[in-house]
């Protein structure tokens, strides 16, 4: 689909009134993922964000899900399926797809595409232009699970400009209030302080390690206390009087 074809879908208000709208529960039309690495990466992003925002109910995050953006949608044109996207200030509920006209006209606030040999050119050009000119998505990132190519853009006066990396090479997402960066060859979220946003499993492991460390410290203090008591007794000193 060309950009001109996408732009031709815009119509006047009177023309919209004559259109018979399709149902809002359209199925996603996205093809299978490029590789297991792509699947792992999408699941990782979803798990981390959902865990971090587990107390929030006003966002929707999804992966490999179709976004329908024309009110005259017939499931054969005018849809795109980002590998990962986040919509803010919306109801958190299961969806078969994201249908813009059924969601108050909302488009994603953040989109991440995962590059592959077959999609890289489209992701860097066609999709970037659609997200800029039609979706008006504030932030767009792409990442290659194979080569670790990583770039990010934000809208400035209607055009995407590069997001400048931090000293660590992370890219700041103003929309998410998080950094995105590469950790162990995967794209991860980081807090404003630069701390890695963990998965639920990593969080549980960290908590277990902290408990074990605390227990070890208590045991060390207990042993040191017993040694001190024993030494005092050798010297003929009653520990209870010290």
DSSP letter at 196?
B
Q: Give the span between the Cα atoms of 242 and 229, in whole angstroms.
A: 10
Q: Which residues pair with 88 in a beta bridge?
A: 59
pLDDT reported for residue 223: 72
- Number of Cβ within a 10 Å radius of residue 123: 21
Q: Give the span between the Cα atoms of 240 and 192, in whole angstroms.
A: 50
Assigned CATH class of 3-197? alpha beta
pTM for this prediction: 0.73
Count Cβ neighbours within 10 Å for each residue of 127-163 and write b for 16 or more, e otherwise.
bbebbbebbebbbbbbbbbbeeebbbbbeeeeebeeb
Q: Of 197, 180, 175, 177, nearest to 89 (Cα)?
A: 175
Find the largest Cα–Cα distance for the chain.
Answer: 101
Q: Which residues of the chain have pLDDT under 50?
A: 1-5, 7-21
User: Domain map of the chain by residue range?
Assistant: 3-197, 202-241
pLDDT reported for residue 235: 73
Residues 6+ apart with CB under 8 A from 30: 64, 65, 66, 81
pLDDT reported for residue 238: 75
């Amino acid at each position: 689909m060309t950009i001109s074809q996408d732009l031709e879908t815009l119509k006047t208000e009177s023309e919209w009134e004559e259109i018979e709208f399709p149902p809002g529960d359209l199925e996603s039309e996205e093809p299978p993922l490029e590789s297991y690495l792509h699947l792992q990466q999408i699941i990782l992003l979803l798990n981390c964000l959902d865990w971090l925002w587990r107390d929030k109910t006003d966002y929707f995050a999804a992966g490999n899900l179709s976004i329908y953006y024309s009110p005259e949608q017939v499931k054969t044109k005018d849809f795109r399926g980002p590998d990962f996207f986040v919509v803010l200030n919306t109801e958190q509920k299961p969806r078969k797809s994201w249908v813009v006209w059924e969601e108050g006209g909302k488009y994603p606030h953040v989109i991440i595409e995962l590059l592959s040999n077959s999609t890289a050119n489209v992701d860097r050009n066609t999709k970037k232009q659609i997200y800029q000119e039609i979706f008006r998505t504030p932030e767009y990132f792409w990442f290659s699970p194979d080569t670790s190519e990583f770039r990010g853009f934000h809208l400035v006066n209607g055009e995407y400009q590069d997001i400048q990396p931090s000293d660590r090479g992370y890219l700041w997402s103003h929309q998410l209030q998080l950094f995105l960066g590469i950790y162990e060859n995967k794209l991860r979220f980081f807090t404003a302080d630069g701390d890695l946003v963990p998965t639920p499993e990593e969080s549980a492991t960290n908590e277990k390690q902290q408990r074990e460390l605390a227990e070890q410290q208590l045991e060390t203090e207990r042993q040191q206390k017993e040694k001190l008591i024993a030494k005092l007794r050798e010297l003929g000193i009653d520990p209870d009087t010290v």
